[in-house]
Amino acid sequence: MGFNFHIFNLFQVVASSQALALFDFDGTLTKKDSLLEFLFFYFGKLETLGKVVAFLPKYFYVGILKKDKSLAKEKLTSLFFKGVEIKSFNQKCLEFSTQIIPTLILDQAMNKLNWHLSQNHEVCIVSASYKNYLLPFFESIGVKVISTELEVIEGKLSGRFISCNCNGEEKAKRINDSFHLEKYTSVYAYGNSSGDSAMLGLANKKFYRPFRVQ
């Protein structure tokens, strides 16, 4: 009876000593913005830049004047992808995740992520980037993904998001919806911008721009 009680207590200690590592993606793990690289990969640079330039007045009005960058990003998504079949879109995302994402990730950032995995920590990417191209890469190495999700209607992208763009306070909300943070003795968070502040605020071990020379 006493032996079993001690085993139970030991199990509780081990269970309560878990760690969670939360990583922003763009600019934290990567050298450059992945969405622009994805658009280049999908449409080519000439077509992408032409559409982006045409979109700038709308971005200025919605993103800057109305201060709604989430809506501006949704409108940009609609401009490029509304009506695209999800099957072909996901195939392109898979190709991007295997061919391009490995070239975007900073070596020192990947080393830190792998260190967390080697310590049996739970690891999760928390990003405003599309889940469709993040998930194939990170799922293959045992890393969870919380990110912006695209709405699909009758097999085609609607151009809208299922929920808010995963940035700022939305990151903290989605993390709290996905994890019971109180069960972790250590919560690590890695970010590089004001859009990561809410996520960093959840952690007891926080790192701002840790993988770049200051």
Structural domain boundaries in the chain: 13-44+84-208
Least trusted range by pLDDT, from 44-48, 64-68, 161-165: 64-68
What's the whole-model pTM score? Answer: 0.87
Which of the two residues, 206 and 61, has the higher pLDDT score? 206
Q: Which of 21, 23, 20, 24 is nearest to 182 (CA)?
A: 20
Q: What is the pLDDT of residues 6-21, one digit of tens each?
A: 444 444 444 434 999 9
Distance CA 128, CA 137 (A): 16
Instruction: Tell the CATH topology of 13-44+84-208.
Output: Rossmann fold (3.40.50)
192 pLDDT tier (thresholds 50, 70, 90): very high
Q: Which of 52, 81, 84, 78 is nearest to 156 (CA)?
A: 84
Distance CA 64, CA 21 (A): 32
Which of the two residues, 54 and 7, has the higher pLDDT score? 54
Helices 86-99 + 34-43 axis angle, to 10: 120
